[in-house]
């Protein structure tokens, strides 16, 4: 819950409600992007962004190299599988 996991925004689902689709290690799910949009960075601009995802919310934009390094490390810590399990088994998500 506190470490978060990097993912890439691949599409905007609902620009009014700031919902996007994120790809986290191949698993796709909706994320809220309210914390990363601003006047200079609209919802549309978020497509392609690498972000740190905490409990379904994109909390910070990160650079791609950083994201890939972090994913590799979380993989080693066993954290990636845990997050993905939580996403896939989450009640209400499917």
Partner 1 sequence: MKYVDEFRDPAKAKALIANINGLKDSLNANEKKPIQLMEFCGGHTHTIFRYGIEPMLPNWLELVHGPGCPVCVLPMGRVDDCVALAERPDVIFTTFGDAMRVPGSKKSLLQAKADGADIRMTYSPMDSLELARKNPDKQVIFFGLGFETTMPSTALTVLQAEREGVTNFSLFCNHITTVPTIKAILDSPEMQIDAFLAPGHVCMVVGERPFDFVASTYNKPIVVTGFEPLDILQSIWMALKQLADKRCTVENQYSRIVPPDGNAAGLAAIDAVFEIREFFEWRGLGSIDHSGVKMKDAFRQFDAEMKFKLPNLKIADPKSCQCGEVLKGVIRPWECKVFGTTCTPETPMGALMVSSEGACAAYYNFGNLPELLAKRSKSIEGDAA
CA 89 to chain centre: 17
Count other Cβ atoms within 10 Å, centred on residue 73: 12
Q: Does 21 help bind partner 1 (rule: CB under 8 A)?
A: no
Q: Does 13 help bind partner 1 (rule: CB under 8 A)?
A: no
For residue 94, give the DSSP letter.
-
Q: Does 81 help bind partner 1 (rule: CB under 8 A)?
A: no
Q: What's the distance, Cα to Cα, between the start and end of the chain in Å? A: 20
Q: Which residues bind partner 1 (CB under 8 A)?
A: 1-4, 17, 30, 32, 34-38, 52, 54-57, 59-60, 62-63, 66, 69-70, 72-73, 77, 83, 86-87, 89-93
């Amino acid at each position: 819950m506190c470490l978060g996991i990097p993912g890439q925004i691949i599409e905007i689902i609902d620009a009014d409600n700031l919902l996007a689709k994120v790809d986290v290690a191949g698993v796709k799910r909706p994320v809220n992007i309210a914390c990363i949009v601003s006047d200079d960075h609209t919802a549309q601009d978020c497509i392609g962004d690498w972000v740190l995802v905490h409990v379904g919310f994109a909390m910070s934009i990160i650079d791609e190299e950083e994201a890939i390094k972090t994913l590799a490390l979380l993989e080693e810590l066993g954290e990636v599988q845990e997050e993905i399990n939580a996403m896939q088994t989450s009640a209400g998500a499917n």
